[in-house]
Amino acid sequence: MITCEQLSRRFRGPDREIAALDNVSFSIERGEFAVIKGASGSGKSTLLLALGGMQRPTQGRVVLDGQEVYALAPDARNRLRAQSIGFVFQLFHLVPYLNVRENVVAGLPDGAHRADAQRRTDALLESLGLSARARHLPGTLSAGERQRTALARALVKQPAVILADEPTGNLDPANAAEVFQHLDAFRRNGGTVVVVTHGDDAARFAQRTLRLDAGRLIDSGTPTSTPS
């Protein structure tokens, strides 16, 4: 499903080059719930963005569903993101001038079937407990509601994979658990989930835990069929 081969990403620092990712290789299978752990600055977010086609690696390659992400033309890579990848961020990143429903619809790729999109949006708002807030702007929502809206936006396109960057970093334990439960439900329906986090709150949903330290993969984990 997702394969990283010798992935490196270096940034130019003020006095020397910094390796955010250093020769990272691993594979994640379809339907897997993988957690990438590491301390702040270990390269987790860079790795996630690189997997999502948003951070071109200095070297190495990313293959998603058989397509080499960075070998694709920009338009094709945009299409791949629009159709196959759902992002969830710690800071939610909702469009502030669109209401909850519109934020969810914004996650649909261009040309999505209108009636299907409507039905899926309604179902997601219902299942995530957001129906009553559908016309509210993000500024009026609680943190939990914002993250559930962001989750709905990622799920509405029925992606192959959800890449979540510290999705519960700004949530209380109850809301955090709810978010992981929804991600796990997506996984149980055949989706692939990659979560980067520095905490342990995803541990009970993870089938596999990879560990990063200073940009290097120090533990690629052992896949298990059931969550640990």
Partner 1 sequence: MNTLRLILRELRHHRLNALLSLAGLTGAVALLVIIQMTTTAAARETRRVMRDLGFNLRIIPKATDMDHFWAHGFSDQTMPADTVTRLAAQQGIFVTFNHLTPALEGRLALGDREFLLTGVGDSVVGPGEAKQPMGFKIARGHVYLGSTVAQHLKAKRGSTLPLKTRDFNVERVLAESGTEEDVRIFTSLADAQELLGHPGRINEIKAIDCLCLTADKDPLAQLRAALEKALPEAKVLQLRTMADARARQRQMTERYARFAVPVVLIVAAVWLGLLAWLNVRDRQAEVGLWRALGHGSTRIAGLFLGKALLLGIAGALVGYAIGTTVALRYGAELFQVTAKSLAAEPSLLLWALVLAPGFSAVASLLPALQAVTQDPAESLRAD
| Residues within the interface to partner 1 (CB under 8 A) | 45-46, 49, 52, 54-55, 74-75, 78-83, 85, 87, 89, 91, 93, 95-98, 102, 105-107, 109, 153
Of the two residues 89 and 205, which places its CB atom closer to partner 1 in the complex?
89
Of the two residues 17 and 225, which places its CB atom closer to partner 1 in the complex?
17
One-letter amino acid of 205: F
CB of 111 to partner 1, least distance (A): 12
- Listed in sequence order, the residues at least 6 apart from 77 whose beta carbon sits closer than 8 Å to its beta carbon are 53, 69, 70
Of the two residues 153 and 208, which places its CB atom closer to partner 1 in the complex?
153
Kindly write down the DSSP assignment for every residue of 44-104, as one continuous string.
Answer: HHHHHHHHTTSS--SEEEEEETTEEGGGS-HHHHHHHHHHHEEEEETT----TTS-HHHHH
Of the two residues 159 and 191, which places its CB atom closer to partner 1 in the complex?
159
CB of 94 to partner 1, least distance (A): 8
Q: In whole angstroms, what is the distance from residue 43 CA to residue 21 CA? A: 6
CB of 40 to partner 1, least distance (A): 13
CB of 42 to partner 1, least distance (A): 15
Task: With beta carbons less than 8 A apart as the criterion, state whether 167 and 90 touch.
Answer: yes
Of the two residues 56 and 188, which places its CB atom closer to partner 1 in the complex?
56
CB of 6 to partner 1, least distance (A): 20
Of the two residues 10 and 79, which places its CB atom closer to partner 1 in the complex?
79
Backbone angles phi, psi at 78, to 5 degrees: -60, -45
CB of 150 to partner 1, least distance (A): 10
3-state secondary structure of 126: helix
Closest CA to 1 of 207, 224, 160, 189: 160
Q: In whole angstroms, what is the distance from residue 148 CA to residue 130 CA? A: 8
Task: With beta carbons less than 8 A apart as the criterion, state whether 31 and 207 touch.
Answer: no
